[in-house]
A and B are shown apart, each in its own frame.
Chain A
Amino acid sequence: MSSASLSVALVGNPNCGKTALFNQLTGGRQKVANYAGVTVERKEGKFISASGRTIQLLDLPGAYSLEATSPDERVTRDVIQGRYPGEQRPDLIICVADATNLRLHLRFLLEIQQQGCPVILALNMMDAAQKRGIQIDVARLQQMLGIAVVQTVAVQRAGAQELIALVEHYQQSVPQPQTAPDAASNTADLHQQVRTLLAETVHMPRATDARDDAIDRWALHPVFGLAILAMVMFLVFQAVYSIGKPMTDSIGDVVTWAGALAGNAMPDGPLRSFVTDGLFGGLGTVLGFLPEILVLFLFILILEESGYLPRAAFLLDRAMVSVGLTGRSFIPLLSSFACAIPGVMGTRSITDPRDRLTTILVAPLMTCSARLPVYALLIGAFIPANHKILGTFNLQGVVLFLLYALGIAGAMAVGWVLKHGRRDQSEHALLMELPSYRLPKARDIFIGLWERGAIFIKRLTGVILALTVLMWFISTFPGPPAGAVGPAIDYSFAGYLGRGLHYLFAPLGFNWQISLSLIPAFAARETAVAALATVYAVSGGDANLAGLGHALGGQISLASALSLMVWFAFAPQCMSTLAVIRRETHSWRMVVGSFSYMFVLAYVASLLTYHLVGWLS
């Protein structure tokens, strides 16, 4: 490290605004949300102060104590104590504290002071504290703690400049600790010191927010609360279809038009086939699903920002405990609706190793956003668009909701089986903080949607593009031999491969084209759509979403379509998820077990669906 640079770590209890402050200081775009456990790893950023000094800033997972009980808390403890591999002990620690809830935060601050590190206290969320009439005597607090105290509002610039100035000159500005806790102080001593500090420096009219209490009377009600939660989720999936579908259709029209334009401008040949069937047919079809993904995430982001999600975790705790999970599993499982990878990583906030392992194993059953294009394609092709349930609800939206519910039910069932397969069946009480409700900030929502859109486009132009090119290649080459009478694709690599796989998947009602599309889906689920579009386009179908829908509708039955949807609800997770499971559990056995159980589950469920629907119809 150069003499001019300074290493600073942001620490504090969960959900006190560390990451928001990190983003504010570094210009980063790390995920923020209004619940505990969003950050489970160290994040690194830097900024240059007014005097040109480089400040290396570490954002650490939230921790209630240095006596770590979960893997994410261990990261924080090890960095603070200089025991984290490849990481030097920070020069300075900024302890971020939620000004509306100082009791726990001050206890953690005293623990950090015991370590002998230079500390600055950032009293965050000062705006919320002022609204609740909480008065903090900052000068007195600073004097009693013997450290610099600065007031901040992490979501605004307020206080950030003052904090930067303090960080830059911390050696001069931080008063020497006068009443810092003795290193030998035990937990009871620390609590006593916190009580003294609060009594002398904080005036709090009431312990909780009256507005929160009023909302929670309904939102946390054992009956009405669950009904509200079910209704909220149901409406989200309705919105995906009501708002997203028209935009998807518009993008499909534009892609079709552009594909035709490009095709007409090129001479007949392999390059023309590549552009029209591969790029526009395969890739363009997947691009069309961007609006539906963004609409889904718009609502998830609003729920995350509002503070409602921890309430949902509280409501579902009893149900989750009964199947061997815990309310703490809710947030990682919810993250898995975006992608199983942050979901599996998010389990680090779960204290009990068995609960954590169970959550890791069931997280991939949550419907990740990569499955949405597959569902949307099949629902669009097989479920009537104008059919309404109770005269109001779109049938397509209802089916989508049911598919998501199927994933959740599958996770519950697997959790229940795992619970009964282990010796220790003790249940662990859920202890979690319920944050104050707040209105989502348009800027945060916009950044969240932007990031999600950017990730989708990056995947589309990265691995999905590469897989689509390969699919086009194996669907086109080798060409049919002289005198061949069947379609050209029957003689291609794809034809042979697909027919080989067909033996395995025929009992599920899949044709060889669908069987083939399951291979690239192992790398990225959305690629199943691109693969199907490419194969059907090469076979002479229309190279667009509507054409693919027609082709599927004409070639497979409703029973096959439902079987395929069920397959994707339970199908073995993608390669990246398996890699993360290996990394988090340190066990190849878990990877093999996870893949195997999902394959068997998906196969059996699809088989039953295909035959049951076939029998009923």
Chain B
Amino acid sequence: MTLSLTLQYLFLSLVVAASAWRVLQHLAPKQTTRGLLSLAAWLSQQQPQVLQRLGRRIRTKRDQKNCDSGCGACGGCSTDEAHAPLADPQPITFIARPRQ
């Protein structure tokens, strides 16, 4: 395999991995966020300044994130649980009609 081809495959591997992560973020935002925050916390505790900065950067990026649903309410819909709509005093449920 030539060097050019090796570099092409290397570049494409990175692009595909980044894309897979992006899709995972879209499909499972809560789980990926949890993973990212754990990673950020671990990095922030490391000695090298570079890793600490990286940890802070990940956390900041996460704070600025929207759901990317394309609904037009970007940043306004508060996708975090703290601002989820309050549970109704009477949860809405269907009640089966009694059989005659």
Contact = CB atoms under 8 A, between A and B. Distances in A.
Interface of A: 30-31, 41-43, 71, 74-75, 78, 85-86, 267, 269-271, 274, 338-342, 345, 348, 353-354, 356-357, 369-370, 421-424, 451-452, 455-456, 458-459, 462-463, 465-467, 469-470, 473, 523-524, 574-577, 579-580, 583-587
Interface string B57-100: 00000000001111111101110001111111011111111100
Contacts of B27: 523, 575
A30 B76 contact: yes
A418 B84 CA distance: 26
A157 to B, nearest CB: 23
A466 B88 contact: no
Contacts of B23: 463, 466-467, 470, 523
Given A86-B83, A421-B94, A575-B27, A370 B70 contact: yes
B19 A523 contact: no
10 contacts: A31-B73, A41-B77, A78-B86, A85-B83, A270-B8, A357-B94, A463-B68, A523-B26, A576-B69, A577-B69
B8 A466 contact: no
A274 B12 contact: yes
B47 interface: no
A282 to B, nearest CB: 12
A170 B100 CA distance: 65
A422 B92 CA distance: 12
A41 B76 contact: yes
Contacts of B95: 422-424
Nearest to A272: B8
Contact of A585 (B76, B92, B96): B92
A356 B9 contact: no
A370 B87 CA distance: 30
Contacts of B77: 41, 341-342, 345
Given A357-B92, A357-B94, A451-B72, A466 B22 contact: yes
Contacts of A42: 78, 83
Contacts of A467: 19, 23
A391 B86 CA distance: 55
A267 B4 contact: yes
A342 B73 contact: yes
Contacts of A574: 69
A278 to B, nearest CB: 9
A576 B68 CA distance: 9
B19 A466 contact: yes
A455 B26 CA distance: 15
Nearest to A575: B27
Contacts of A78: 86
Contacts of A422: 94-95, 97
B3 interface: no
Nearest to A582: B84
Contact of A71 (B29, B69, B88): B88
A356 B16 CA distance: 42
B20 interface: yes
Interface string B1-18: 000110011011001101
Nearest to B92: A353
A458 B72 CA distance: 11
A360 B11 CA distance: 44
Q: Which residue, of B9, B11, B72, B91, has the highest number of chain A Cβ atoms within 10 A?
A: B72
A86 B82 CA distance: 7
A423 B97 contact: yes
A307 to B, nearest CB: 20
B73 A341 contact: yes
A585 B12 CA distance: 42
A458 B84 CA distance: 24
Nearest to B93: A587
B69 A339 contact: yes
A416 to B, nearest CB: 15
Contacts of A30: 76
A340 B71 CA distance: 7
Given A271-B12, A348-B85, A354-B92, A463 B26 contact: yes
B85 to A, nearest CB: 5
Nearest to B5: A269
A570 B87 CA distance: 29
A111 B83 CA distance: 25
